[in-house]
């Protein structure tokens, strides 16, 4: 069983590193006892996201329903022959992850199959399930035996996930709007995306980042640097988008270059070392 589980975990690790260098670098800065569980969570959410966003030539609804069923079977049985789901169920069961968070996540993935334009209420539900719950899953891993700390940090953890998701909306606007026909911001007309409309969204995102940072500084030292680095990566990406012209959002997908990531990692590590949190 040890070899079986290690092999399955390796799949989650490789998935994280192949899909997101930013996230994987943040995970490496976590204390070793937390890394495997965070890799397992990322592998799970990435596979579900792939179903709805990438497999456009397949019956995505059927694939997602099968993935949902297989997820619950894996959690109930405590084992799966799907390596990603086996790693995830191990984390869910060991870290007491609330099953309602998993349901909310899978429901949000299903929304991407059926929604083109999101109302404010739809968007809140979608962001909670697609991003905020991921932050809550990770927070539970960090505080598996400390319910008081978990409860006190839930709000900033949700805000961090919300900030990340909204930045993703702007970063991926070209693909979501032009290729998939999705409009996550209901009152935004991307055919006439004005500076005022863009600034309104950005002010909302900045608020989320500010609220999230209040929680980051309260995290235990064993996980604070890794989470802070992810925060800095996304804040840097947000600033790139913030200073871009509105029309450029639909023409270019902004990213943080590898050299920039190296600089951000150095600065984050230095700040952590001298106790500036």
The residue written with tokens 């789901």 in the block is 85
Res. 115: pLDDT tops 80: no
**pLDDT tens digits, 123-135:** 899 999 999 999 9
The residue written with tokens 């702007």 in the block is 170
**pLDDT tens digits, 187-229:** 666 777 888 888 988 999 999 999 999 999 999 999 999 999 9
Please state the separation of Cα 271 from the chain's center in Å: 24
**Sequence spans of domains, the chain:** 2-273
**Cα–Cα distance between 147 and 150 in angstroms, integer?**
5
Read off φ and ψ for residue 183, nearest 5 degrees.
-130, 100
**pLDDT tens digits, 70-93:** 999 999 999 999 999 999 999 999
Write down the pLDDT at residue 59: 96
HSE-up of residue 32 (Cα within 13 Å, Cβ side): 0
Burial level of 57, CB count in 10 A (0-12/13-18/19+)?
exposed
Mean pLDDT of the 28-56 span: 95
Sequence-ordered strand ranges (E) for 19-138 = none
**2-273 placed in CATH 1.10.600.10:** yes
Q: Which of 86, 59, 61 is nearest to 74 (CA)?
A: 86
Q: What is the pTM of this model?
A: 0.92
Residue 117 pairs in a beta bridge with 183
């Amino acid at each position: 069983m040890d070899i079986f589980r290690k092999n399955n975990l390796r799949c989650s690790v490789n998935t994280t590193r192949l899909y997101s260098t930013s996230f994987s670098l943040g995970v490496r800065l976590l204390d070793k006892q937390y890394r495997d569980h965070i890799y397992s969570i990322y592998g799970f959410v990435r596979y579900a996201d792939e179903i709805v966003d990438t497999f456009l030539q397949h019956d995505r609804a059927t694939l997602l329903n099968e993935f949902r069923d297989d997820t619950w079977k894996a959690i109930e049985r405590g084992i799966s022959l799907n390596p990603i789901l086996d790693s995830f169920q191990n984390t869910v069961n060991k870290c007491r992850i609330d099953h309602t968070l998993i349901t909310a996540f899978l429901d949000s993935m299903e929304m991407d199959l059926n929604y083109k334009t999101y109302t404010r209420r739809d968007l809140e539900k979608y962001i909670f399930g697609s991003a905020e719950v991921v932050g809550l899953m990770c927070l539970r891993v960090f505080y598996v035996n400390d319910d008081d700390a978990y409860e006190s940090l839930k709000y900033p953890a949700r805000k961090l996930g919300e900030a990340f998701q909204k930045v993703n909306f702007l970063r991926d606007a070209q693909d979501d709007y032009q290729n998939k026909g999705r409009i996550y911001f209901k009152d935004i007309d991307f055919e006439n995306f004005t500076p005022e409309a863009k600034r309104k969204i950005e002010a909302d995102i900045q608020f989320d980042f500010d609220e999230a940072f209040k929680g980051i500084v309260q995290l235990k030292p064993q996980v604070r640097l890794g989470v802070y680095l992810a925060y800095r990566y996304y804040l840097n990406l947000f600033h790139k988008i913030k200073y871009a012209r509105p029309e450029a959002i639909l023409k270019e997908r902004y990213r943080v270059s590898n050299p920039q990531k190296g600089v951000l990692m150095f600065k984050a590590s230095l700040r952590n070392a001298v106790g500036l949190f």
